[in-house]
Amino acid sequence: MAAEGRTLNFNVGVLGHVDSGKTALARALSTTASTAAFDKNPQSRERGVTLDLGFSSFAAPAPQHLRAGGCHELQVTLVDCPGHASLIRTIIGGAQIIDLMMLVIDVTKGMQTQSAECLVIGEIACQKMVVVLNKIDLLAEGKRQAAIEKMTKKMQKTLENTKFRGSPIISVAAKPGGPEAPETCATEGISELIELLKSQTYLPTRDPSGPFLMAVDHCFSIKGQGTVMTGTILSGSVSLNDNVEIPALKVTRKVKTMQMFHKPVCSAMQGDRLGLCVTQFDPKLLERGLVCTPESLSTIHAAIISLKKIPYFRGSLHTKAKFHITVGHETVMGKVTFFGPSADNSDEEPQENCFDFGKEYLYQEEYLCSDSKSSEDQENKQGAERQLPKQQWALLEFEKPVTCPKRCLVIGSKLDTDIHANTCRLAFHGLLMEGLMDKNYAETFLPKLKMYKLKHKEGQVERGNDDYSVIGRALFKKETNIQIFVGLKVKLSTGEDGVIEGSFGQSGKFKIRLPNGLHPSTKQLLLPSSKKKSKTGKGESTAREDERKVDSEPVLISLCFKRYVFDPQKKMIQS
């Protein structure tokens, strides 16, 4: 192997709006490539392992810039992404394996809803992109060049605000004449695209450490040998005789043989496309799925993620709302609870790698973002109090358990949105910080999550009782058990600090003890006669107004406390 150099498997995702010609393009690429002159090795033409629908590949001698890195053969695996709902899963599933994304645009239509969604996914999951303007044969002959240039400019502008600014844009006709045209009809621009793809390849960082995880896209059995799973290694590495687990079937099997590029190998690692032959199991039970180091995946019922809203998502993100949540390779419905740093930690720098259970967190009714405000407004000093936290989290509670790797990518979307509604269905993306494996997490785990709500109640002083106590009202409902509030501190709008001493008579009234007594001025305010005294005025209108103000403005009582959302005792806490 060493003498002939390495073969690099480079994974290219083919994404785009429905009918933009992704499948046609993948087909044109693999056909053109395999019949092209550079494919001298007859062995590399034939397909050793049957590739599942959506996967195709072509081989080529490695371009010069890869040779320097010790790689002599290049295999490009095209991951042709199918329709909408499954698209999101496929991409997230392959997020770690797609080294480059081809965004296919129907040149007669330009950016469409799903093209935009693909761009969003690309921004989350991919590093590099090539835009392919397809169907140029549909442009009127005489105006073709001008139309291509116009669309190219438009696309450049679209990419301007993304991390793909300046990505190459190329125009092709993958299937000139459309579905009715004979298969032999000559394609346009495909060889140029292959050259472009080759020039865009790079030596991806592949990490053999950590648990082995492979996304299986095809599974079949070979008589007398075992069951073969083909797929792409998402993380870690695997060697002959390793035990691997198929979590969906809850079985463990031994690796008997392995093949890469039709050749037997003893080990393989992240990014490789592999055929893995293990001791027999019924291949029908696993069409697509995962195979991994035993017990390296966990099945979780809920999760804590760190997340960001996808700016193109027009809806708001409300606590208690339900989303389709893609966790690793599975998509389930889940309920979301948003939270952010506590008031004292709001300035803290984001922690991407861990979630600190020692800290306190502030419950949020919704994800906080600057959407509705202009960015100018945000910079404005006046907007300082609305300053956004640097990091926000969510608790996800799944309708059914999901099996996923640690730290996997999480995407929340509204897949039930009408696909013709022309809106981005992807709502947020994040990283799994903590998976909750216990089915009874609500009792066993959530109480450890110190997420609190700040509560503020306001009432009024009805009258003074004596120099050291007043009677309050309107702070509680009639039926509230005031007993549980006894001992809590309150503050009067006139400045005095007090403590709730107990209920007073019926109808929710209560007594407040003021350890430092009432201010003389407050006493004056609360005098029952103060209302009547006001008729003695000397005609000064301002004085009268003042008095009227006094009459109409009662002394307010404010009660502030915090309560941990998951505290089973619902204790009220004051600092």
Q: How far from 459 is each of 241, 486, 515, 557, 562, CA to CA, in Å?
A: 73, 15, 19, 5, 18
CA distance 502 to 483: 6
Closest contact distance (angstroms) between CB of 27 and ligand GTP is 8
Among ligand GTP, Mg ion, none, the one that 459 touches (CB under a kind-dependent 5 to 8 A) is none
We find the least distance from the C-beta atom of residue 136 to ligand GTP, in angstroms, to be 7
Q: Are strands 273-278 and 469-473 parallel, antiparallel or unpaired?
A: unpaired
The least distance separating ligand GTP from the CB of residue 39, rounded to whole angstroms, comes to: 23
Q: Which does 19 bind (CB under 5 to 8 A by kind): ligand GTP, Mg ion, none?
A: ligand GTP
Q: Which is closer to ligand GTP, CB of 99 or CB of 106?
A: 106
Q: Which stretch binds Mg ion (CB under 5 A): 23-31, 271-279, 451-459, 549-557?
A: 23-31
Contact between 432 and 406 (Cβ < 8 Å): yes
In 236-355, where do the E strands start and end?
237-239, 243-246, 251-260, 263-264, 267-269, 273-278, 289-292, 298-309, 322-327, 330-341
Residue span binding Mg ion (CB under 5 A) among the ranges 22-30, 343-351, 368-376, 381-389: 22-30
Query: Minimal CB distance to Mg ion: which residue?
Result: 23
Is 517:467 a contact under the CB 8 Å cutoff? yes
Nearest residue (CB) to Mg ion, 174 versus 396: 174
Between residues 139 and 426, which has the closer beta carbon with respect to ligand GTP? 139
Count the helices and strands in the chain (H runs, E runs): 12, 28
Q: Which is nearer to Mg ion, 135 or 509 (by Cβ)?
A: 135
Nearer to ligand GTP, 133 or 244 (CB): 133
In the numeric block, the tokens 């490009």 are attached to 76
Rounded to 5 degrees, what are φ and ψ at 166? 80, 5
**CB 28, min distance to Mg ion, A:** 12
CB of 101 to ligand GTP, least distance (A): 14
- Please choose which of Mg ion, ligand GTP, none residue 210 contacts, taking the beta carbon within 5 to 8 angstroms, the exact cut-off set by kind: none
Nearer to ligand GTP, 48 or 176 (CB): 176
How far apart are CB 212 and ligand GTP at their closest, in Å? 31
Helix (H, G, I), strand (E, B) or coil at 367: coil
**CA-CA distance, 334 to 126, in Å (whole number)?**
25
- Among 16-24, 287-295, 490-498, 527-535, which window interacts with Mg ion (CB under 5 A)? 16-24
CB nearer to Mg ion: pick between 44 and 114: 114
* Beta carbon of residue 115, minimum distance to Mg ion (angstroms, whole number): 14
Total residues contacting Mg ion by CB under 5 A comes to 2
3 state DSSP class of 264: strand
Contact partner at residue 328 from Mg ion, ligand GTP, none, CB < 5 to 8 Å by partner kind:
none
**518 within 8 A of 497, measured Cβ to Cβ:** no
Contacting residues toward ligand GTP, per CB under 6 A: 16, 18-24, 82-83, 134-135, 137-138, 173-179
Distance CA 17, CA 116 (A): 8
Stretch that binds Mg ion, among 14-22, 298-306, 386-394, 507-515 (CB under 5 A): 14-22
Q: Which residues contact 574 (CB under 8 A, 6 or more apart)?
A: 488, 489, 560, 561, 562
Write down the least CB distance from residue 80 to ligand GTP, Å: 7
Binding partner of 178, given ligand GTP, Mg ion, none, CB within 5-8 angstroms per partner class: ligand GTP
- Report the residue number, 132 or 286, with the smaller CB distance to ligand GTP: 132
Q: Which of 469, 465, 461, 464 is nearest to 517 (CA)?
A: 469
Q: 489-492 and 556-564: which strand pairing? A: antiparallel
- Among Mg ion, ligand GTP, none, what does residue 179 contact (CB within 5–8 Å per kind)? ligand GTP
Q: Which of ligand GTP, Mg ion, none binds 137 (CB below 5-8 Å, type-dependent)?
A: ligand GTP
Q: How far is the CB of 237 from Mg ion (least distance, A)?
A: 32
Nearer to ligand GTP, 138 or 556 (CB): 138
Identify which of 124, 148, 153, 146 has the alpha carbon closest to the alpha carbon of residue 135.
Answer: 148
Paired tokens of 502: 């107990």
Q: Which of 103, 92, 90, 93 is nearest to 133 (CA)?
A: 103
CB of 25 to ligand GTP, least distance (A): 7
Task: State which of residues 23, 56, 57, 413 lies at the interface with Mg ion (CB under 5 A).
Answer: 23
Closest distance to ligand GTP from the beta carbon of 175 (Å)? 4
CB-CB contact of 126 with 167 (8 Å): no
Is residue 90 within the footprint of Mg ion (CB under 5 A)? Answer: no
Residues 6+ apart with CB under 8 A from 300: 327, 398, 401, 402, 403, 404, 435, 436, 437
Site residues for Mg ion, 237-266, by CB under 5 A, read none
> Cα dist. 93→97, 225, 327, 397, 491 in Å?
8, 29, 9, 21, 55
Measured from the CB atom, the residue of 87 and 302 that comes closer to ligand GTP is 87
**Distance, CA of 80 to CA of 158 (rounded, Å):** 23
Q: How far is the CB of 80 from Mg ion (least distance, A)?
A: 6
Nearer to ligand GTP, 83 or 517 (CB): 83
Q: Which residues bind Mg ion (CB under 5 A)?
A: 22-23
